[in-house]
Amino acid sequence: MRYEKENPVFDPAYLGDTKLYPAEHVDIFWRRDENFLIRDVEVALAPRDALKNPEKQQRYSQWRKTWTANLGNSCADWMQPNGTTPAEVFGVLLSCGFADHLELKHALREFSSIQGCDWARDMLKGLPVEEDAPDRG
């Protein structure tokens, strides 16, 4: 969501009135620190039908190389019954650990942009408002 303007397949028409990303159309990206902690979580709108266009698919593939890992609609079981969901992905990231408190908040903000992720929006309400500056001095 932070980099949606750089996403070559982003199309605001998929957002509808809610302006939230439909879960079935998202990829979730992240990087790991040297100590393997999670940072730079990004929720990207990536509708499968937009990726059928070879040129857009190639540009998207190049763009997504910015991150080291991802899960989302590129997985066969994404949003299928008993399949992978955004909440499950967040749980995996949380169990790995975030680089710092600010990275956790960024991740929650990213997940809060997904339809059906009321849990992320609710969790953000419980966190104190802080300056968006790195926790590291």
pLDDT tens digits, residue range 76-125?
Answer: 899 999 999 999 999 999 999 999 999 999 999 999 999 999 999 999 98
| pLDDT surpasses 80 at 128 | no
Q: Give me the mean pLDDT over the 40-53 stretch.
A: 91
Q: Give the residue with greater pLDDT, 129 vs 12.
A: 12
Compute the distance between CA of residue 72 and CA of residue 23 in angstroms, rounded to an integer.
9
Q: For the range 92-95, what are the long-range contacts, defined as Cβ-Cβ under 8 Å and sequence gap of 24 or more? A: 93/30, 93/38, 93/41
Q: Residue 104's closest CA among 41, 21, 45?
A: 41
pLDDT at 123: 93
pTM of the model: 0.88
pLDDT at 4: 85
Domain-by-domain residue ranges, the chain? Answer: 12-125
pLDDT band at 7 (very low <50, low <70, confident <90, very high): very high
pLDDT at 136: 44
Mean pLDDT of the chain: 89
Query: What percentage of the chain reaches a pLDDT higher than 70?
Result: 93
Coil, strand, or helix at residue 44? strand
